[in-house]
Amino acid sequence: MPARLQCVVLDCPEPAGLAGFYQALLGGEVNRPDPRWRVDEDWATLHVDGLVLGFQRAPDHRPPRWPDPAFPQQFHLDFEVDDFRESHHVVLANGGRLLDPDLGGRGWRVYADPAGHPFCLLGDY
């Protein structure tokens, strides 16, 4: 195996705030000491279940506008949830917003985090 994934990094205007948003949804530890990364006002991390999400300040961050191809998402995260209503509430209570309510019954709903990155909650609702 030539490489191992170390971290998924999201550009954003407020790294600590976005790390807190994902901690509310996923649990884990924000800015756990780790020799691989420094944490400061421009960089935050979330360690959860052996994975690391990084949040990097981008002063001119332009959020995606799902599903507008003029402002593409470039990538998105999918989260399987056991209690869809609880997860939905956590997302909204922490500054996320619903983008697509899945009225067609696909089994997922599309949200945006506070910095505008799209992500999906997957589960029964």
The pLDDT of residue 96 = 97
Helix (H) or strand (E) holding 88: helix 84-93
Q: Which of 2-6, 87-91, 101-105 has the highest mean pLDDT?
A: 87-91
Summarize pLDDT for 33-79 with one digit per residue, the tens.
998 888 999 999 999 999 999 999 999 998 998 889 898 887 789 89
User: Which of the two residues, 47 and 3, has the higher pLDDT score?
Assistant: 47
The pLDDT score that the predictor gives to residue 103 is 64
Among the listed ranges 25-34, 102-111, 114-123, which one has the minimum average pLDDT value? 102-111
The closest of 70, 73, 83, 68 to 123, measured between CA atoms, is: 83
Spell out the domain ranges in the chain: 8-57, 77-122
Sheet containing 77-80: order of strands: 77-80, 118-122, 108-112, 97-100
Give the SS3 label for residue 89. helix
- Return the CATH fold of 8-57: 2,3-Dihydroxybiphenyl 1,2-Dioxygenase; domain 1 (3.10.180)
pLDDT digits (tens, 9 = 90+) for 8-29: 999 999 999 999 999 999 999 9
Predicted confidence band of residue 125 (pLDDT cuts 50, 70, 90): low
CATH of 77-122, one of 3.40.605.10, 3.30.1330.10, 3.40.50.620, 3.10.180.10: 3.10.180.10
Residue 3 has pLDDT above 70, yes or no: no
Q: Do domains 8-57 and 77-122 have the same CATH topology?
A: yes
Does an H or E element contain 44, and which?
strand 43-48
Q: Are 47 and 32 in contact (CB under 8 A)?
A: yes
User: Are 9 and 39 in contact, with CB atoms under 8 Å apart?
Assistant: no
